[in-house]
Structure 1
């Protein structure tokens, strides 16, 4: 099954680039101002402080510029060097609170910005090659995938599921049995982190809403994660669904052939 490695060309990526360009403009203005103060001030102590801060701002500005360039290249499905992916990944973590706050100020949809983060993360992961065994891969899903009328508690043991086929849990168990992966249904971020600590997976396929996926990407930065946004036909946190084909493609990207 072929894995689509192209970045999503939607408004979320464009909005994310706009936010980064605005932040770059702010950093450019700040660095220019600091350099001017550095040249005007004759007191060595203040000159040293201004110089250190200016260098720090310039370094962050360069990282930001490289990230903007990398995102633009990925947007047009061009390959980028590995070092640029590393810079981009860490800058995304550092910049996240500033980008979200700026997006709030200029009235960008929060979920669109979060979606851009997950798309960019997926693009980085999909551009790398992995050869893990099935037992090294963890599929994490929120418990709201289970139908709200289902009487069976499956967060502690997924095999309490009666496999009626009315929700996507049945299909995810099929994938677990087919590829020998780990599959866990969790009630929230705390339990998700507990499962990760216990199982120590080498790769994760995470299913959740935009907010929870972004939170997870920020918390678990050392493990490759492919993030899949769930479908919410009845609204958030109730009877959600997931595209099983996307989950299987994500598993196949990580698994050893």
Structure 2
């Protein structure tokens, strides 16, 4: 009879399920991310690079106008004025919108009521901002974190108070035991349920079934950005990015003050104060 005994180490190894990555992490090299997976980033990173992108856009637009001006002069005067004023008006509107977004983030006051029912992650300027920031070594995930930070602030200033049964909390399976226990304690404190989702399809089903008036979603930046873009701001979302000291999809954790403040915001309660990190960590 063959010897079927194994060492303790071998036995323990057989109990560990292989890591199953989400679709957004296909191709992950296995290396731990920058700053040990803590990509918390100030919203000013996104707003700062968006400002640079807008400057380039404005300069480029006026350069194009300068080059095509002789051709425009050949058009009827009313048509030429319409094209010039229309293009300039669009640029001014975009500049003003992001100036008001920055003012809202700076003061915490609502200068962007037009963002109710919208999310900053749906902005068409984001791909250009990501390209500009990559030239300075800012990763897509870190930029996504900054975008979500801005989105959370815009959601908060536009969000009316809701009842506890109108709030949906979505969690990933990869949270470590300590974090899960902490979330259980916090949600029990406010008598709110939470749901652990195996993937985006389950999250969409819960959204359809529960029809919440507010959502708190925990995931990595990639899944959060995909989720926000998927629901297209049909429901207000506070996105909390997890921290990944062991890499994606295993033993992740979150800032529990951020979680409790998200709950308190939706319920119309005063927020817990905490020291905010205003610089990129690492």
Residues 63 and 212 (structure 1 numbering): CA distance in 2 closer, same or farther, change over 3 Å?
Answer: farther
Aligned pairs for 1:46-65 within 5 A: 52=83, 57-65=87-95
Residues 120 and 37 (structure 1 numbering): CA distance in 2 closer, same or farther, change over 3 Å?
Answer: same
Aligned pairs for 1:126-165 within 5 A: 126-145=156-175, 147=176
Question: What is the Cα deviation at residue 213 of structure 1?
Answer: 1.9
Residues 90 and 17 (structure 1 numbering): CA distance in 2 closer, same or farther, change over 3 Å?
Answer: closer
1:121 correspondence with 2:151: yes
Larger CA deviation: 205-214 vs 26-35: 26-35
Kept in 1: contact 2:54–2:95 (CA 8 A)? yes
Match of 2:214 among 185, 192, 203: 203
Aligned to 1:251: 263
Kept in 2: contact 1:70–1:88 (CA 8 A)? no
1:167 correspondence with 2:178: yes
Match of 2:106 among 72, 76, 86: 76
Aligned to 2:250: 238
Aligned to 1:96: 126
Higher relative contact order (CA 8 A, sep 6+): 2
Kept in 1: contact 2:104–2:111 (CA 8 A)? no
Residue deviations 1:165-213, cap 9 Å, x none?
Answer: x333233334444434341111222322222122211100111122222
Q: Supply the distance in 2 between the matched residues of 1:141 and 1:240 (Cα, whole angstroms).
A: 11
Kept in 2: contact 1:35–1:51 (CA 8 A)? no
Unaligned runs of 5+ residues in structure 1 are 1-9, 148-165
Other structure's SS at 1:236 match: coil
Kept in 2: contact 1:208–1:230 (CA 8 A)? yes
Kept in 1: contact 2:121–2:225 (CA 8 A)? no
Other structure's SS at 1:69 match: helix
Other structure's SS at 1:167 match: helix
Q: Supply the distance in 2 between the matched residues of 1:171 and 1:119 (Cα, whole angstroms).
A: 22
Residues 140 and 81 (structure 1 numbering): CA distance in 2 closer, same or farther, change over 3 Å?
Answer: same
TM-score (norm 1): 0.72
1:194 correspondence with 2:205: yes
Q: Supply the distance in 1 between the matched residues of 2:248 and 2:86 (Cα, whole angstroms).
A: 41
CA RMSD of aligned residues (A): 3.2
Other structure's SS at 1:29 match: helix
Matched positions, count: 227
Q: Supply the distance in 2 between the matched residues of 1:194 and 1:130 (Cα, whole angstroms).
A: 24
Question: What is the Cα deviation at residue 254 of structure 1?
Answer: 0.8
Residues 144 and 49 (structure 1 numbering): CA distance in 2 closer, same or farther, change over 3 Å?
Answer: farther
Larger CA deviation: 115-124 vs 30-39: 30-39
Aligned to 2:56: 26
Aligned to 1:35: 65
Question: What is the Cα deviation at residue 217 of structure 1?
Answer: 2.3
